[in-house]
Each structure stands twice: as C-alpha cells, then as structure tokens.
Amino acid sequence: MNEYNSLFDNDKLLEPGFMISMYARGSFPMAQEDGTIDWYLPKTRAVIPVTDFNIPKSLKKFMQNAQFDYRYDCSTMSVIKNCSNRSETWISTDLIEAYQKLINLGYVHSVEVYQKDELVGGLYGIAFRGAFFGESMFSKVTQASKCAMVKLFENLKIKGYDIVDVQYITNHLAMFGTIEIPYDDYVEILVRAYKKEIEFL
C-alpha cells in the first residue's frame, strides 16, 4: 500500500492519529532507503492466536535455567533503537521519533530481557484494544528474543488479548504457532478484538 506517498509527506504518514488508524486496519510502516515511509497491507496475514501460542520444549528448558530478568515498558525506546541497529533496517530516524510519540500516548509497548542489569534482548509492538501488532525484536545473547516472546504472550493471555500480528511468517516465528490466514478472516478477528478495552499493563 504505497499510494499514500503520493498524497502525504512523511510528517502526515507518521502523525500519531494516522499511524494508529493504519495499524488498526492491519497496515504497518517501513522506511525506504531514501527515507520515505511506505505502509503495507498484505492480503495474506501472519498471526499468532494468543490462546494457541506454542513454547518449544527446548526453550522451556532453557528458560528454567536462564539468568534473565524480564521487564515491561521500562526502556521501550532502547529496545526500538537496538532493533534498528542493523546494517539494513526499515526503522529510520523518522520512525523512531514517531514511535516516541506513540509511547507517550500509551500505544507502544516493550518486553525487555536483562542479564546482570544489562539489556540483552527484547521486542516491541503496538497494542490496540484486544490486538497486538508486533514490530521487531533483537538479541545480544542466545535465545533472548525468544524468551521475550514467551513473556509477551504470558502477559497478553492474562490480559485477554486475542491476536498478535507478526507481519510475515519466518522459521523463528513458526515455532511459536504462527499461521497464515486470508485478509477477510483477519478482519473478522480484529473486529472481535476491538470490542475489548484492555490495558497492556
């Protein structure tokens, strides 16, 4: 979905109200090499139903002995910046600034993994009513981002969320129970999820 680029400049495309309305319909942004922002709306959706989240046995065993501490929303911007710190990234400076505004409004949330008080992994995404739109994750040590996923779903299940949109299916995400569904089915799930009033924390 790139037609918005011909109608609006980046400031409009990253205005908080516009961003939340786009996320709510299932779109997600990516910055291009020239700095422009494209919004995408795939017709095949990769999602994880919260109640069907799967934890691989090897990961369960790892987490029993891992010397990790887990926190929510304590250093969300640090998580975003770590996710952007790659040779190729879609998280531009403009997007980082836009996410800061959404953090201030209470829409962006993070799960952080610490080892001896050092941030070593985590993930972030956008929460809207009963849906969570996962954006990115990072690891500085083995399994840290996977552990963050487990902690995310533990919280989402307790709170009563319905679905996590993971954008694209990967081997990394498939192990957790990611499925692909048609856009019409996806919209039906979102409609149900949006009937809920839920606070992430």
50-69 pLDDT, tens digit per residue, is: 999 999 999 999 999 999 99
H/E segment holding residue 19: helix 16-24
pLDDT of res. 35 = 86
Note the pLDDT tens digit of each residue in 149-161.
Answer: 999 999 999 999 9
Neighbours of 96 (CB within 10 A): 15
Neighbours of 30 (CB within 10 A): 15
Confirm if 120 and 113 have CB atoms less than 8 A apart.
Answer: yes
- CATH 3.40.630.70 corresponds to the domain 42-193: yes
Note the pLDDT tens digit of each residue in 159-171.
Answer: 999 999 999 999 8
Q: Which ranges of 25-170 does DSSP label H, i.e. alpha helix?
A: 57-65, 76-84, 93-104, 144-159
Q: Has residue 140 got a pLDDT over 80?
A: yes
Q: Has residue 96 got a pLDDT over 80?
A: yes
Neighbours of 54 (CB within 10 A): 13
pLDDT of res. 8 = 54
CB-count burial class (<10 Å; 0-12, 13-18, 19+) for 133: buried
Q: Has residue 3 got a pLDDT over 50?
A: no
How far is the C-alpha of 201 from the C-alpha of 190, rounded, in Å? 20
Confirm if 51 and 95 have CB atoms less than 8 A apart.
Answer: no
Question: Radius of gyration of the chain from Cα atoms?
Answer: 16
pLDDT (mean) for 89-102 = 96
pLDDT (mean) for 172-194 = 96
Confirm if 92 and 124 have CB atoms less than 8 A apart.
Answer: no
Q: Side-chain half-sphere of 110: how many Cα atoms within 13 Å?
A: 28
Confirm if 91 and 31 have CB atoms less than 8 A apart.
Answer: yes
Least confident piece of the model among 7-11, 144-148, 158-162, 197-201: 7-11
pLDDT grade, residue 9 (50/70/90)? low
How far is the C-alpha of 140 from the C-alpha of 119, rounded, in Å? 8
89 φψ region: left (φ > 0), alpha (ψ -120 to 50), beta (else): beta
